[in-house]
Amino acid sequence: MNNNQKILITSWFLLVGTFVVVGIFQDNVIVSRSAFVPIGIYFLLNYRTIKNIGKNAPTVKDVIYNNKLLSAFGIIYLVFVIFVSFYFLFAGKDLGQYISGFWSLMLVFLCPLIIPLILSQVILYRSLGNEQL
């Protein structure tokens, strides 16, 4: 594992750790906001390397467009969310009972992007291992 791969892995651990801390301490403003301090410091210290890594990264959009299964899942998920939203709107039910916390809201918004994001980062990790930037 070279230095660029280590920085990529460390940045993802920090990002996921920040989401976990914010999710656990969502009611405590001080802890949830201070969780972003270490990630900000890390990205400032490694700005040039992260910028160079980001130039060679495949975008999530490219991964979705190149995979028909992921494209179909995104369309089906969008149609499902629209139908569920209109059902709750016209039935007069409160959707906030089901989507009330940080984790459920993140799951709703990031569900169609989780798999393409992971695939793009795996492709980036492998390309960083093949060549030194």
Q: In this predicted structure, which of 14-18, 87-91, 107-111, 116-120 has the lowest mean pLDDT?
A: 107-111
Residues counted in the chain: 133
Please state at what angle helix 3-24 crosses helix 102-130, rounded to 10 degrees. Answer: 180
Tell me the three-class secondary structure of 81-128, residue by residue.
HHHHHHHHHHHCCCHHHCCCCHHHHHHHHHHHHHHHHHHHHHHHHHHH
Residue 51 in tokens: 């910028």
Model confidence at 76: pLDDT above 90? yes
- Tens-digit pLDDT profile for residues 53-66: 888 788 888 898 99
- For 30, 67, 72, 128, the CA distances from 62, given in Å and listed in that order, are 38, 9, 14, 18
Question: Does pTM surpass 0.95?
Answer: no
